[in-house]
């Protein structure tokens, strides 16, 4: 799988991609990461990639011709092209799983006041990481990349790490159950007894029950339509 990030500020994401799981995935050749500087496709020697909005208003707007030239250079016939924007569909675990099956993902990091609307003709999907506005889409692009890469087969050591976790507990969209490790007792507080007895069927039942409790307490919106066997 290849992921390309088109950005005005490459250094904002390059450091992130050179650490931890993403770095190891690249070294194992499970994925390829490329960061492309949008200014390489500027309209002049000054690196101009934006201009004032027609009709007036604050801020600057990224130019369609700049982004089109960049995409012509980096996309393939297998590319799925994303644009990070607060106006996009909300990114979630289901989307991460969907994108992890792509062979070529291009993420355009939005910036400034916005992007010329005509850019949308070259984009497959607008995507948002939440109902808030940031100075640019680099953090969103990095977050999407991280969520996607960890789902690529072979990236994590144990497949179960992506099977039973928040938003995917025993196949259900629930928050993760409480986790414990040693010491078994600390300052009078003990690990739940069911987790220490080795009865895997009872442990799975306990975890599902606790996942539902956690979700009910913190994200009751996720319980709508939930069916529990």
Q: Tell me, what's the pLDDT at 58?
A: 86
> Chunked in runs of 10, what are the mean pLDDT values of the chain (229 residues)?
97 94 96 98 94 91 97 97 96 96 97 89 97 94 97 81 70 90 95 96 95 94 76
190 membership: H or E segment, kind and range: strand 189-190
User: Which helix (H) or strand (E) element contains residue 200?
Assistant: helix 200-218
Please, which residues have CB within 8 angstroms of residue 95's CB and are 6 or more apart in sequence? 89, 127
**What pLDDT score was predicted for residue 73?**
97
What pLDDT does residue 142 have? Answer: 97
Q: Go through the domains of the chain in sequence order and give each one's CATH number.
A: 2-149 (3.40.1280.10), 163-223 (1.10.1270.20)
Confidence at residue 159, expressed as pLDDT on a 0 to 100 scale? 53
pTM of the model: 0.86
> What pLDDT does residue 168 have?
76
């Amino acid at each position: 799988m290849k992921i390309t990030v088109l950005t005005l500020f490459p250094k904002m994401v390059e450091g992130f991609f050179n650490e931890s799981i993403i770095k190891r995935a690249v070294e194992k050749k499970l994925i390829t990461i490329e960061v492309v500087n949008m200014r390489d496709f500027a309209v002049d020697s000054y690196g101009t990639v934006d201009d004032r909005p027609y009709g007036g208003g604050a801020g600057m707007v990224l130019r369609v011709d700049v982004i089109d030239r960049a995409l012509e250079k980096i996309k393939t016939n297998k590319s799925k092209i994303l644009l990070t924007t607060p106006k996009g569909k909300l990114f979630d675990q289901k989307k991460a799983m969907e994108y992890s099956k792509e062979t070529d993902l291009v993420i355009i990091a939005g910036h400034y006041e916005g992007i010329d609307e005509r850019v949308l003709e070259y984009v497959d999907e607008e995507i948002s990481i939440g109902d808030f506005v940031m100075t640019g889409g680099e953090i969103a692009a990095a977050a999407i990349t991280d969520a996607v890469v960890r789902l690529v087969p072979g990236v994590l050591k144990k497949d179960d790490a992506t099977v039973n976790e928040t938003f995917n507990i025993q196949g259900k969209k629930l928050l993760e159950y409480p986790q414990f490790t040693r010491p078994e007792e600390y300052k009078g507080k003990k690990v739940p007894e069911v987790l220490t007895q080795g009865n895997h069927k009872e442990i799975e039942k306990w975890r599902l029950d606790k996942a539902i409790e956690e979700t009910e307490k913190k994200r009751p919106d996720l319980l709508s339509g939930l069916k529990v066997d």
